[in-house]
Structures are given as structure tokens and as C-alpha cells.
Amino acid sequence: MLTIDEYIAKMKKSDKLDEFDYTKQSENMSVVMKYVMSYFNEYLTMETCDAETIKLKHATDKLEEEIEKRYPKSKDFILDFYMQYKIRIHKEIDKWLEDLPYFPFFYSEHDFSSAAKSFSTSHKIKGANMEEYENNITTLIAELKQYNTEGLSPSEMIHLDNNIVKWIKETYRQYGVNLFSFAYNLADTYNDRYVKYERERYGERPYYVNNYNHRYNNNPFNIDRIFEDNKHRPFLENKRGELEMLVMHEWLFSMVYDDDYWPEYVNLCVSRGKVNIVRNVNALLPVSSSGLNYPEDASCVTEHIITTDGILKKKPERAYILRVDVSQTYAGVWQNSEEMASLITALQASFKEFGVPKVLELTAPVKTASFDEEIFISCCSILEKKMKKNTQMKVAIVNGLENKKSKQKPKPISYLNTIEDLIKLKVQLRERKIPLRFSIDFPALLGSKRSSSYSQREVFGALTEIKNSIVCLNITNFKTQESYGPKYKEISEDLDVYYLHKFKHPTYDDFYTMLSAAFNDNQKRYLIPKSIANDAELEELVDNLLRSGFAFCDGGEQHE
């Protein structure tokens, strides 16, 4: 049965009609009109077709257009089945698969043939023996799985450990399984079940109230059962904790917006051995100073030594970080290449006798009327090149305070006293390919005068631009700000909502939380306590860092 277009094309070919011959335009129009009349008056007779046949023809044409690219191997089966039973078998199977447990994990011929057998024996279609089509259904299920599996979106994985991302990508490439999509869908089912939309009784403020306790839960989202049912799959072997972490990631960042808990959660998983390929987030290496002793959960194997001339008086008792305060003996070291060479000679002599430090810190220069930035950058280059042979040592510059107005003699202004100064220097060093690092003195940085456009939160936001170059964190005890109130979230330009949790865990909007969010990576950095009076204050500092999602390491094996 031909459509009218196909009939006209057939007749044109038979009559050798040249529709592009404009000298016969009127004649061709008349001929085509005859074709149309002939189609309806002669070709479409009761002997050749009926309305149902025409309708079926149009339906099969539309169906073929729909499926030929989606299910190329199953196209003929789908069309033949439709012609015989008037049923779109691919839609029947697709709907049935929605209730098939763990279908997103299916990848093998055994998976698809088992599903086909189950469908064939359980799904009844009048007049059809479905078991006869089992092989065709196996192929169709495999194509449905491939078509329905979404591609990966790397931008959604920025908070995940690189090894987790690698595992997701390899699983997708090798098995055609999107673990990330599975995690999102599972988290979404819990969101539908436990998160309720409410409004204030006497106001217009909307709330999303989470009634599921995900914090410190040993078996969130019933992961134990899911893993037990699927641990035979090669991409899930020994990955129970990693699978849980994927679901928790989507729950925290996409459902209930409790992302402050993420770094603490990751570090808990690592410390308790729940994951095999994940590293600590915000790992800190404790450094001792002023005879202070860390608590047991922050093992310290590194000491901090400060000198003004680069000369060590005795052998360090353990691994060490050496800081040179250049404000005295070598006050002109950043503006004089000869002084820099003299300091380097003294340092190399100390390193030869006592060993190389983990980090060599030099305090930033001070601003004077004659300060020359180009000479400073040149001295940075000299320092970096001369120290390059010490491959295990990092060289860092320490920022300083601004000039404070007081009745006493004012202190000189540090060249690096604002976040803008740090970012500017980083750009200059990058342009000249000088890989010097930074040791950030946070009391000095946050205590310096900044433009009114920078709040403390914005300072930490800007700090992310240079975080990969930061090797030491100099931190004192900052005041914590605990809250149990709702968390604000902007859903869109027209909708702002607040999230509440039935199980009231405190939230924080303070220095430690912002510090954790600013870094949020797997890089190890040294913690150097500053202005800490005693062991009790140091323990309080450690507790605040742990609470905000930092982990403490001893330089080797990581632990909480």
C-alpha cells in the first residue's frame, strides 16, 4: 500500500515527467492533478484497501521512524510484532523494566537473557506465545538499557575524590553502567519519602523538612541490602562504601543541602575503613611549636623551627619546617641578590649538616618607598632555582600584617597583607614559571585592612584561586558560631526556600566551616598553631577542625 506521495512519485517515474521543465509547467500541473484523482478514485478502492489498512500503514511508518536509530537490532522484531498484535512491544518491556530491581546495574548477556525469560513467562499478550520471542526480547532489553542509560556529567562530580570519579568513568566505559545516575535516583526516592514541603503557619516562608537521619548512620539508604544483592558484579566488588558515598553525595548536595557534613562524612568513611579507594578530605599534618602537645587523635611528627639567619644551632629531633624571619639579619634579602645568595649559602650549610626540612618558609618583604617588585620577583627566581635540587622540600612565602595605627612606632607594612596581594603575586609567579608556594597566616590575613567589597566569606572564596599553592596553614582559635536554625537555599531567581532537619544537628557559619569549604580537596597541608597558650587550647583547635571536616595525618597513613 502506497501513500499518496509514494504513488505520485511512482507515476512520475513511469511517465518520465520532468517537473523542472518550466516550458511544460501548465501541462505538468494538469498531469499531477490527474495522479491525485487517480490515487483516490482508482488506486484506493475497496478491493485494494480499507481505512484500517491505511491507518496501520501510517502507524508503522511512524513507528519505524521512531525506533530505527534507537533500537537498530530490534527494529524488524518491533515492527513485525506490532503488525501482528498491534502492540508496541518495546514500550511494554520498557514499562515492565521500571519495576525490575537493579536494572541500572545490568550489563551482561546473562542479565539481559534472565530479564527476557522473566518477562516472557510473566507477561501475557493475547494470542502470543511470548517464550517464542525470548531471544528477540533479550536483544531488545539490551538496546533499551543502552538507550536509557544517561551519559556522564563531570561537572556534577566536583566534590568527589578523583579515584571515585575514575571508578564511575571506567564502569560506564566498560560496562555501560551509570553509577552516578543510580545514586541520584536512589537518593531521590528517599527525598520523595522523607522530605516534606511546608509553610509557616502565620507567614509565607516555605520550608523543606527532612525527616531522615543521614548523619552518623551505619547503613544509610539501606546500602547493605543493595550491595549484598549486587556484590557479584565486577564493578561493585569491594565497593560497598564507595556506593554509599555516591548516594550520600547526591543526598547532601542535591536533595537536603546539608553539604557542610560532606567533608566530615568522607573522613569518617576513611578512618573507619568503609572505603578502599577514597582519600581524606582536607588532610592536615600537625606541626608542633612552643612545646605544645597535640591530643591523641592528631599525631604529630613534625616540629616548627624559626630562625633569623638561616642557621640551625642543633639537629632537629624529627622532621621539621624551617621559617626564616627575614625582618632582622636579612632585612634586604628580597631587594638584594647578594643578600639572597648569602642567605641561601647559610641555609644550604644547615641542610647539609642537619638534613633538609619539609618546608622552607621565608617571611614576606616589607613595603618601603624604594621597594621594587621586579627585583623581588628576581630574588624569588634565584631562591627557587638554588633550592630546586632539594626535591623533597617545598619553598613557601609567609604573608604578614598591615601597618596598624597606634601611639607606638608603627610596624612596617608587609608586601603580602591582603588576599589581593596574594593573588597578584601568584599570577606574577605563574607568568614567570616560578613554583614557589604559600604559607598562609590566617590571623594576619583576616586581620588586615581590606576593601569594603570583601567580606570574610569572600576572602575564602578568593583563596580557592591559589589553594593548590598553599602548603601551610597558620591558625589560631577562632570563635565558633553554632546554629540550629533553617538553612537558606536559593532554588531559582523566583524561589527561595529554607531547609530544616527533624534530627537537629548543629550547623556552623564560622571560620572553620569556610576554611573547609575553601580547600575541600585531597591535598595534605601542614597545620602550624599560632597564638595558642596551652595544650587545652590546642585540643580545642583540633576539635573545631575535626568538626568542620578536616582530617589529621602523621605524614604516612591517614586517619581521622
- Average pLDDT rounded to a whole number, residues 238-255: 96
Are 195 and 158 in the same domain? yes
Q: Rg of the chain over CA atoms, in angstroms?
A: 35
What CATH number is attached to the domain comprising 342? 3.20.20.150
User: Helix 240-250 vs helix 223-230: angle between axes, to the nearest 10 degrees?
Assistant: 130
Residues 90 and 167 in one domain: no
Last residue of a domain, one of 114, 148, 182: 148
Q: Which domain holds residue 37?
A: 4-43
- The answer to whether the beta carbons of residues 330 and 339 sit under 8 Å apart is yes
- Cα gap 13→19, rounded to integer Å: 11
- Does residue 457 sit within a domain? yes
Record the cell numbers describing residue 418, joined without a space.
591582603
CA atoms within 13 A on the CB side of 37: 6
In a domain, 537, yes or no: no
Pick from 148, 173, 194: which residue ends a domain?
Answer: 148
Model confidence pLDDT, tens digit, residues 210-219: 999 999 999 9
Q: Is residue 506 one of the residues assigned to a domain?
A: no
Q: Do 474 and 387 fall into the same domain?
A: yes
If asked whether residues 160 and 263 sit together in one domain, one would say yes
Length reported for the chain: 560
Do 432 and 316 belong to one domain?
Answer: yes
Encode pLDDT of 47-61 as tens digits. Answer: 455 666 767 777 888
Q: What is the pLDDT of residue 484?
A: 67
% the chain with pLDDT above 90:
61
| pLDDT average, residue stretch 146-154 | 92
**336-350, 373-387, 483-497, range with the lowest pLDDT:** 483-497
Q: Kindly report the average pLDDT of the chain as a whole number.
A: 88
pLDDT tier for residue 17 given thresholds of 50, 70 and 90: confident
Query: Does 255 map to a domain?
Result: yes
253 and 313 belong to one structural domain? no
Q: What is the pLDDT of residue 63?
A: 87
Average pLDDT for 186-191 = 97
Whose grid coordinates read 521543465? 21
Q: Which of 272, 287, 311 is the last residue of a domain?
A: 272
Average pLDDT for 413-430: 93
- CB-based burial, 442-465: b 16+ in 10 Å, e otherwise: bebbeebebeeeeeeeebbebbee
Tell me the whole-structure pTM to 2 decimals.
0.79
Rounded Cα gap, residues 512 and 277, in angstroms: 27
Whether residues 224 and 342 share a domain: the answer is: no
Amino acid identity at 292? L
Q: How many domains is the chain built from?
A: 4
Three-class SS of residue 394? strand
- Together in a domain, 124 and 200: no
pLDDT confidence bin for 411, thresholds 50/70/90: low
Predicted confidence (pLDDT) at residue 556 exceeds the cutoff of 50: no
| Local confidence band at 559 (pLDDT 50, 70, 90 cut-offs) | very low
The pLDDT value recorded for residue 383 is: 96
Strand partners, 283: 551
Domain shared by 387 and 526, yes or no: yes
Q: Give domain status of residue 503, yes or no.
A: no
Taking alpha carbons only, the member of 285, 281, 284, 283 closest to residue 161 is 281
- Quick one: pLDDT at residue 554? 74
Q: Are 487 and 452 in contact (CB under 8 A)?
A: no
* 237 in the same domain as 221: yes
> 469 and 344, same structural domain?
yes
Does residue 325 sit in the same domain as residue 445?
A: yes
- Residue scoring higher pLDDT (343 or 485): 343
How many separate helices (H) and strands (E) can be counted in the chain? 19, 16
Strand order through the sheet with 195-199: 195-199, 206-210, 495-501, 487-492
What's the one-letter identity of residue 210?
N
